[in-house]
A = this chain, B = another copy of it.
Amino acid sequence: MDSSQLLKGVLDLAVLAVLAERDSYGYDVVRRLREVGLEDVGDASVYGTLRRLFKAGALTSYVVASDEGPHRKYYGLNDVGRSLLQTSAKTWTSFAATMNDLLKEVDPG
């Protein structure tokens, strides 16, 4: 199984979790996700997710000038985003628990 399919429906959650730590911009979110182990995330996916979440009203956005390149579009969680994060985290946790239950019977010895 290609892990890219696993990302479906979870990238939002991962991005929200990263932003909960501190405000950030696309390029940096990609780096941080890769650092924590999500090595295969494409940059376009992250930018797309950021835009979707912003459009959905879960993020704030502000532009900051940068020393080392073009301006940066920072994103941060607002109340909607924080509650979305909590809800999604719970959904994920219970889903993951269900899957682990299902799998433990077939775990390789």
Interface size of A by CB at 8 A reads 42
Interface CB pairs A-B, < 8 A, 5: A1-B88, A2-B9, A3-B9, A13-B99, A96-B99
How far apart are the CA atoms of A106 and B90 in the complex, in Å?
11
- The answer to whether A5 and B6 have CB atoms under 8 Å apart is no
Smallest Cβ-Cβ distance to A77: which chain B residue? B106
**Using an 8 Å CB-CB cutoff, how does the interface string of A37-78 with B read, 1 for contact, 0 for none?**
110000000000000000000000000000000000000000
**Using an 8 Å CB-CB cutoff, how does the interface string of A69-109 with B read, 1 for contact, 0 for none?**
00000000000000011111111110110111111011110
- The answer to whether B10 and A91 have CB atoms under 8 Å apart is no
Report if A89-B106 is in contact (Cβ < 8 Å); known contacts: A6-B10, A84-B1: yes
Most buried by B among A1, A8, A36: A1
Pairs of residues from A and B, 9 with the lowest C-beta to C-beta distance, nearest first: A5-B9, A8-B8, A37-B98, A1-B88, A20-B106, A6-B9, A96-B96, A17-B102, A6-B95
